[in-house]
Amino acid sequence: MQHIFFPVFMLLALQKIASSFSMERRRVGLLGGDVGKRITKMTSENLSGYSSSASSKTCEPLFRFGIISDIQYADVEDGAGFSGRPRYYRRALEQTQQAADHWKEAGAAFGVHLGDVLDIHCPPEDAGPALARVAEAFGRFPGRTHHLVGNHCLYNCDRDQLRAALGWEPCPEPDCSYYAFEHEGFVFISLDGYDIAMTGRKPDDFKYQAAEAILTAANPNRDNLNSPDGLRGLDRRFVMFGGGIGFKQAAWFRGQLAAARAAGKRAVVFCHQPLHPASDRLGVCMLWNYEELLNILQQHSDVVVATFTGHAHRGLYSIDHMGIHHKVMEAVVECPPGSAAFGLVEVHADRLVLRGRGLVGDREMEFDFLRRHGARAAAARAEFEQEWAQGARATEQQEVEEDEEQEHDNEEEEVVLGGWGAGAARYFQEQGIEPPPEVLAAVKEGLEDNQQQQSDYLY
């Protein structure tokens, strides 16, 4: 099975990479710019802004569940991510306790943590005790908390440690952590976005090797695959702190949704990485093969109500053209003192209602959105497509200008380095020549930058 899986996944992945400069990829890549902001606004306001009779109902929900993401606890001083946003590592534990207490008071049926239980800065020798402290904090909630795997989970702990400490559900693949569970006629599906990944896997693992091949084909930063520098739009997702879903998990996912359809049940999907491009304006946090997963979701839009994801840290919301809601949760680790970042989801027969705390806002998510608002949704979709087309033309011109500017910058760099270029250090070493001081200084500065970025480019 492994020998079949590897080339199939690689063939599909490399085929997508080869078409990265297609018009569709250019269009999707706009989400980080002004056009992307208009598109995100359009999908989150024009489509989701329509109220329904459900919004005025005050009936009690069928049940509630808690939701939280990116705790990234560590018993270290506060710091910042690569974007410069402050991170409050110790306070994350207090936030987890508050969330658990709130879920308990609200009578939540269960809780969901979308991944990244510990931060990369957690000292390795404290990883076990830190996991125990987080598990104890969640233990204040009497119901079960379902955990997903995130990249930070895997920096200091292996999957066996996490499974033992957090009580992960059994998985069809022993080296993964995807699973499904049901509650009162609803199916909840948790995906493992680090199924195909370098993070958390050993170099002799064929899934590590598949991930390495994908990254080296897509990412030009050979010395720092955590960096998205040089990548554009959603191609920025091909970084080492990301990951993808393998063939076996994808087939399992299709099967879960097909079974839910046959049983007449609704489904809610969880994943650490965002699954819809409007959910990640920077593009760097998307699931590697999000297109494949989004296709599966939209083929089952009569079943799938919503997806809840994390990883991007900044809370975003969108609704796709098939009426599926996509919510990215705000990160606990970036929650400043005096605020909060968790929520409670009310499950009704015809909608979900997210009741947020602190940084997390309220959000109503209707079922059967297209059936309820077909005409207005179609009009908004037409406007949406027009924006895409206009943006694609603008981006083509912008990319030409950026390429010309980059060529000019490269010429200037060659002059600065005396004509030896970026490979100066290797050239002098091979020739046995002592490089000039200015070249040594430039190389030293570049190495220091790479070392810093290796830890900074980590969500």
pLDDT given for residue 130 in this prediction: 94
pLDDT given for residue 429 in this prediction: 53
Cβ-based neighbours of 236, under 8 Å, separated by 6 or more: 228, 282, 283, 284
Q: Is 177 helix (H, G, I), strand (E, B) or coil?
A: coil
DSSP state of 194: T
- Cα–Cα distance between 338 and 5 in angstroms, integer? 48
Burial class (CB within 10 angstroms; exposed 0-12, middle 13-18, buried 19+) of 426: exposed
pLDDT given for residue 189 in this prediction: 98
Q: Cα–Cα distances in Å, from 357 out to 279, 317, 360?
A: 20, 16, 5
pLDDT in tens, the chain (459 residues): 444 344 444 444 444 443 433 333 333 332 333 333 333 343 444 443 333 333 435 689 999 999 999 999 999 998 887 667 789 999 999 999 999 999 999 999 999 999 999 999 898 899 999 999 999 999 999 999 999 999 898 998 888 888 888 888 889 998 899 999 999 999 999 999 999 999 999 999 999 999 999 999 999 998 999 888 999 888 999 999 999 999 999 999 999 999 999 999 999 999 999 999 887 777 889 999 999 999 999 999 999 999 999 998 888 888 888 889 999 999 999 988 889 999 999 999 999 999 999 999 999 999 987 777 765 665 555 555 555 455 544 554 555 455 555 544 443 333 333 333 334 444 445 555 555 554 455 445 544 444 444 444 455
> Burial letters for 383-393: b for 16+ Cβ neighbours within 10 Å, e otherwise?
ebeebbeebbe
pLDDT given for residue 17 in this prediction: 40
What tokens does 129 get? Answer: 């005790």
pLDDT given for residue 42 in this prediction: 39
Cβ-based neighbours of 1, under 8 Å, separated by 6 or more: 248
pLDDT given for residue 360 in this prediction: 93
The four Cα atoms 345, 297, 283, 149 give a dihedral, to 10 degrees, of 60
At CA 459, angle to CA 26 and CA 80, rounded to 5?
125
pLDDT given for residue 343 in this prediction: 97
Pick from 243, 213, 219, 241: which is nearest to 231 by CA? 219
Q: Cα–Cα distances in Å, from 127 out to 69, 71, 242, 262?
A: 19, 14, 21, 43
pLDDT given for residue 85 in this prediction: 79
> Burial letters for 151-185: b for 16+ Cβ neighbours within 10 Å, e otherwise?
bbbbbbbebeebbebbebeebeeeebbbbbeeeee
What is the pTM for the complete model shown? 0.75
373-432 confidence digits (pLDDT tens): 765 665 555 555 555 455 544 554 555 455 555 544 443 333 333 333 334 444 445 555
- Cα–Cα distance between 114 and 271 in angstroms, integer? 7
What tokens does 19 get? Answer: 């078409």
Give the number of residues written for the chain: 459
User: Is residue 449 within a helix (H) or strand (E), and if so which, with residue range?
Assistant: helix 437-456
